[in-house]
Amino acid sequence: MDVFDKIRNMKILLIEDDEWIRDSLSIFFEAEGCHLLALETAEEALSALKNQSYDLLIVDYRLPGLDGLELLKRIQNKHLEAIKVIITAYRTDQLISEAKKLNVQGFIEKPFTSQTLMASLSHLIEMHNYRQKRRPQQF
């Protein structure tokens, strides 16, 4: 099973201020039949997240206005089931520490290729599904 089989039925929210990356990823995911909403700012994402839940949040760390971590802080008590991924060229120990507190499951470092993106997402989805199966059922 390839990664697109895993994510084709997922709702994906991408927040990326770089127009080239945002448009390229939109075309890439949509060509594979994925449900993707691509936005430029964290403020737009907050608005979108009020009305819709997403299975996969791919968030750029450095955004104009609110950064990616601040966005995730504001939604940390909502959208608990979503897989959260940060895209960054500025990966530091402090960023990793802060992100883990917000239940970020992974990082994708810039620059990246479609192959590294898909490999990372595939791994994160597998890990997420494994954790979901192992979690005690709540009644």
Query: Which pTM value belongs to this model?
Result: 0.92
When pLDDT is averaged across residues 83-97 and rounded to a whole number, the result is: 94
Task: Give the tokens for residue 41.
Answer: 């700012």
Query: What pLDDT is recorded for position 133?
Result: 82
Neighbours of 71 (CB within 10 A): 25
In the chain, helix, strand, coil percent, each to 5? 45, 20, 35
Structural domains in the chain, CATH included, are 3-134 (3.40.50.2300)
C-alpha neighbours within 13 Å on the C-beta side of residue 97: 3
Question: Mean pLDDT in the chain?
Answer: 92
- Comparing 23-37, 54-68, 88-102, 119-133, the range with the smallest average pLDDT is 119-133
Cα 33 to chain centroid distance, Å, stands at 17
pLDDT of residue 25 exceeding 90, the answer is: yes
Return d(Cα 37, Cα 63) in angstroms, integer: 17
